[in-house]
Structure 1
Amino acid sequence: MAEPAPAPLELDPKYDDYDYPTTAPTPQSGHPGYLTPQQQAQVHQLRLLLESEGYKERLDTLTLLRFLRARKFDVELAKTMFIECEKWRQETKLDELLPTWEYPEKEEVFKYYPQYYHKTDKDGRPVYIEQLGGIDLTAMYKITTAERMLTNLAVEYERVADPRLPACSRKAGTLLETCCTIMDFKGVGLAKAPQVYGYVKQASALSQNYYPERLGHLYLINTPWGFSTVWSVVKGWLDPVTVKKIHVLGSNYQKELLAQIPAENLPKQFGGTCECEGGCHLSDMGPWREEQWARPAKWEKKKKEAEAAAKNEPAAAKEGTEADAGAPAAAEAADAAKEDAAVPAAA
C-alpha cells in the first residue's frame, strides 16, 4: 500500500490553539498531516455531533483524531467512546482535581511500585517505566487507597497530554502523541501474580478506555517463565497494529532497549548510564523540565487565573462600582488573550 501523501491539517480556530508541531513524524493514514478528505470530514462530523449534545471541552482536532483512530474512523463509535470518557471525567471530578492534585505519599508508594516518566527515547517520546515486582497491595493500602492510586495515574496521563508531549514535540520539531513504556516484571512470582495482574488490569482499562492512542512502544522485560506462551495466545485477540508495538523480552533485554532509548536517558538499573540525583524514579526529568521547551499547561493557567480571581474578590466587593467599571476592560483583555492563543504556531 502506498504511503499517504502529506496534507496540511485543517485546524478549527475555536478549539485548536497548539503552540507545537501538528504533523506526525511518519506517514500514516489517519494521523495528523496525512488525512484523506474523508477522514478530515469525519473530524468535522464528530465535532458537530458532540457540540449538538452540549460538549464544549476537548473538541480540538488532535483529540478527536485519537478517538477516531481508536474506533477505525467509525464516527458513531468514536462519539460513544468520547461521551463515556467525559462521563468518567465528571464522575471522578478529574478536571476539578487536576490543578490542585497532590500525592504526598508518592515516595512511600514507590518503595513498592515505582511508576514514573523519565527523559525520552530516540524518537523524542517520553519514557514511562513501571516496576511490578515489589507490589504489595496490603502494605500499599496502609499508605494510600486504590482510588488515590488510580486518580494519580489519571492525573499523570493528563500531564502527559499537557505539558509533557507538547514539550517533547517542540524539542523534536514534529508532533509526538505517544510514549515509550517499559514494564519490568522482575520479582513477579506466582504468589504475587494475582494482585499484580489485578491492578494492572484496572490501570490498563483506564488507559484503553479514556486515553486512546497513547502507546508508541511497550517493552515487557524480565517476563516470568511461561509468559511467552500466554502472550502467543493473547496477541491473537489484539489488533495487529497494537501487537506490533509490544515487545516481550526476558532478562536479556538491554540491547533492544538501548536500540530505542539512548544510554544517557535510560536508568542504570536497566542497562543505561543515567543516575539522577535522588533517583531517576523521582526526578521527572525530560523536555517538560527544560526551559527552552517547557510551557505552562492549560490546567496550570486555569489554576493561576482562579487564584488571581480569588485574590481580587474581596477588593472587588469593597470597591463596588469601581470594580464593576473595570470589568469590561478586563473582559476585553481576556478576549484579546484568547484570540492570541488561538493562533496556531507553525509546525
Structure 2
Amino acid sequence: MGVVSQDALNQLQALMDQVEEPLKKTFQNVHQGLVTENLVRFLRAREWNASKAHKMLVDCLIWRVQNEIDNILSKPIVPPDLYRAVRDSQLIGVSGYSREGLPVFAIGVGLSTFDKASVHYYVQSHIQINEYRDCVILPSASRKHGRPITTCIKVLDMTGLKLSALNQIKLLTIISSIDDLNYPEKTNTYYIVNAPYIFSACWKVVKPLLQERTRRKVQVLPGSGRDELLKVMDYESLPHFCKKEGSGSAKHSVTGSQNCYSLDHPFHQELYNYMKQQSRIHEAVVPIKQGSFHVDFPEPPAEEEEIAKTIESEIHKFKGTNGDSDYNMAFKSMVIED
C-alpha cells in the first residue's frame, strides 16, 4: 500500500481502537482475525477516507448488534420444506474454487422468482450465506492456501431474464444495499453469462452510474462464458449452467448433486447441517423462536436508488412496446457483447 493508503489505515485503526463493547465483539466476528484486511475493505468502499470508512464500519457493527447478525447462523429456516422452497426460488450456490483459491458463487438472476416465501425469509437466507462465506468458507480457504483469502468470485446467470423482473427490483435493491453497506468489497469479480437483450439494454444505462471500482469488477462474457471461465478455474468448479458451450441453461437440466442451486448440492447440505448444529448449541442457552429472522432493511444508498429507478425506467420502455412473449420471441437467441 502507498503512503496515503497506509496513513488512512493507521487513522482508521486508531479510531477502531476506541470502539467499546458490544461493537468490539461483533467486529471480531467480522474480521475473523484479519483486522487489517477488513479495515482495508471499508477504506476502499469509501475511497480511502478514514472518517467515512469509520462511520460506515461503526454503522455496520451497530446494524449487526441490533439485528443479532452474530447469531443468524443458529437460526435455520424451518421447516425444511420451507427452506427448500426458498432454495428453489432464490438460486444461489457454490460450485467450487478458482485456481487462486477464491470460492465461486453461482447466482441464477434470471430464473430466481422470489415467490415462495416472505421478503424476510429471502433476506435471512441471503445474510446466512454471507455469514457462512465469511465465517466458514473463506477462513477454510485461507488455512488451505496459507494466506488470507477474503473475497469470492460471482458468476451471474441471466438465463430466463424477462421484463417481469421489474417485480423483483425492490427485493434485489434491499439485498444489494445490505451487501454494499455491511459486506463491502467481498467480491473480486462478477462474471455475467447467458445475457439476453434486456440485460444489454439495462447495462448500457446502468454502467455509467457505477463507481469505477465496481465497473472494473464486472465482466460480461459471451454465451455461457465457459471458455473464459476455464482460464480462471478448472472444469469441475464451473457452475452447472456454464458447462455447455452454447448460451442458455435449463434450471432442472442436471441432478440435485450437480446443480449448485439445489438443496441437495453438497454446499447447501453442509450449510444447512452447520446451521442446525449451531441451532442446537445456541438453543441450549436461549430457546429458538420459530418464524423468520426479521432484519431491519437499510435505506439504500443514493447510488442504489438511482440505479433501481434507471432499471425500472428502462424496463418500462420495453413494456410499452413488447409483452414478455413478444420480447422472448424477438430476443431469445441474443447475448450481450462486451
TM-score by length of 1: 0.65
For 2:200, what is the secondary structure of its paired residue? helix
Shift of 1:164: 0.5
Q: How far 1:145 moved relative to its partner?
A: 1.1
- Name 1:50's counterpart in structure 2: 19
- 1:253 matched to 2:225? The reply is yes
2:65 aligned residue: 90
Shift of 1:49: 4.0
1:154, distance to aligned residue in structure 2 (A)? 0.7
Residue matched to 2:118: 145
1:264 matched residue in structure 2? 236
Residue type matched to 2:94 in 1? Answer: Y
TM alignment of 1:305-324, pairs within 5 A: none
2:199 corresponds to 1:227:
yes
Q: Which residue of 1 aligns with 2:100?
A: 123
Work out which of the residue numbers 102, 124, 128 in structure 2 matches 1:155: 128
For 1:164-183, list aligned pairs within 5 A.
164-183=137-156
| Residues 220, 249 of structure 1: 8 Å contact kept | yes
CA apart distance, 1:230: 3.3
- Shift in alpha-carbon separation, 1:108–1:101, aligned structure 2, 3 A: closer
C-alpha contact 2:162 2:198 (8 A) present in aligned 1: no
Identity %: 25
Larger radius of gyration: 1
Is the Cα–Cα contact under 8 Å of residues 228 and 248 in structure 1 kept in the other structure?
Answer: no
Aligned letter for 1:77? K
* Residues 302 and 42 of structure 1, relative CA distance in 2, 3 Å threshold: farther
Alpha-carbon distance in 1 for matches of 2:138, 2:23: 28
C-alpha separation between the residues in 2 aligned to 1:121 and 1:284?
Answer: 19
Any conservation in 2 of the 1:117–1:284 contact (CA below 8 Å)? no
Offset of residue 265 of structure 1: 1.4
> What's the CA shift for 1:57?
2.7
Residue 166 of structure 1 and its aligned partner are, at CA, apart by: 0.6
Q: Does 1:280 align with 2:253?
A: no
TM-score, normalised to structure 2, is 0.67
Q: 2:43 aligns with which of 57, 60, 68?
A: 68
Note the residue ranges of structure 2 that are not aligned, 5 or more in a row: 246-253, 287-338
Closer, same or farther: CA 150–308 of 1 in aligned 2, 3 Å: closer
1:264 CA drift (Å)? 1.0
Shift of residue 258, structure 1, vs aligned partner: 1.9
Q: 5+ residue gaps in structure 1?
A: 5-28, 290-295, 311-347
SS of 1:50's equivalent?
Answer: coil
Instruction: Note if contact 2:27-2:61 (Cα within 8 Å) is conserved in structure 1.
Output: no
Distance 1:244 1:170, change over 3 A: same
